[in-house]
Amino acid sequence: MTQATLSQDQLKEAVAAAAIDEVRPHLHRDSVLGIGTGSTANRFIDRLAELRHDFAGAVASSEASAERLRSHGIEVFELNSVGTVPVYVDGADEVNAHLHMIKGGGAALTREKIVAACAERFICIADGSKKVERLGAFPLPVEVIPMARSYVARELVKLGADPVYREGVVTDNGNQIIDCYDFMIDDPLAMEARLNAIVGVVTNGLFAARGADVLLLGTAGGVERLTPA
Ligand code: 5RP
């Protein structure tokens, strides 16, 4: 198979492997790593399993990732008992040149944002399809307190979004998700703050105030290592 025919799955495998090299300097017997959620993060977890004796354990951004880590014999710590993590590795639904992201396709955005806030370094791993000029073609997830769902949806309409309730999904925090369609974002930093100011919003999926420090992007030509423009 030539590089040009690499599938999205193969690109995810490639960036997961590259992320192992990126975190290797942070592995020692006391280190606790931050681990994200999703199919790309899962590949990273599976590779990390081979190194499980080289570090203390991990903090996970979802119950699903915690379960996967434990299944590999990696100890999962409570974030409150750890404080900061030296490095957080996670995927993204979209990422721009400033390494601002849309996340939350897997409904884990709140815990992802909390672990990212406690990370000294955020390494985003993504296949090439996730890199965009302007954020917003992927519907922006917003986690809401259930009783505020209709109110928040009306406020999102005022901002120009087409909000759609993600039916049947309950987050790890017991909340609900609204996805904002037709919502192209010119100023991710300002919009992240604007959305957070709506009463009833727990988190929105814009990761601009705390973007990634490094993007490992899987492309047909290999894994590109990008830093914020
Ligand atoms: C989950 C996320 C994921 O990082 C994002 O959805 C990317 O997932 P995948 O690696 O499966 O493409 O934010 O809430």
28 has pLDDT over 50: yes
Here the CATH number for the domain that contains residue 213 is 3.40.50.1360
Q: Which of 13, 22, 94, 112 does the annotation list as catalytic?
A: 112
Q: Strand pairing of 222-226 and 101-102?
A: unpaired
Ligand 1 atom with the shortest distance to the CA of 104: 14
161 occurs within a structural domain? yes
Nearest CA to 180 among 147, 207, 148, 158?
158
Domain that holds residue 63: 8-132+209-226
Sign of CA dihedral 225, 188, 115, 126: negative
Q: Is 34 marked as binding a ligand?
A: no
**Per-residue model confidence as pLDDT tens digits over 115-173:** 999 999 999 999 999 999 999 999 999 999 999 999 999 999 999 999 999 999 999 99
**Per-residue model confidence as pLDDT tens digits over 53-89:** 999 999 999 999 999 999 999 999 999 999 999 999 9
Q: Strand pairing of 122-127 and 214-219?
A: parallel
* Same domain, yes or no: 24 and 96: yes
Tokens of 194: 């604007």
Beta strand extents in 22-174 (DSSP E only): 32-35, 57-60, 88-90, 94-95, 101-102, 122-127, 140-144, 162-165
* Same domain, yes or no: 94 and 164: no
How many domains are contained in the chain? 2
The answer to whether 41 and 58 are in contact (CB under 8 A) is no
pTM: 0.96
* Same domain, yes or no: 161 and 97: no
Cα distance between residue 183 and residue 94, in whole Å: 13
3 occurs within a structural domain? no
* Same domain, yes or no: 190 and 114: no
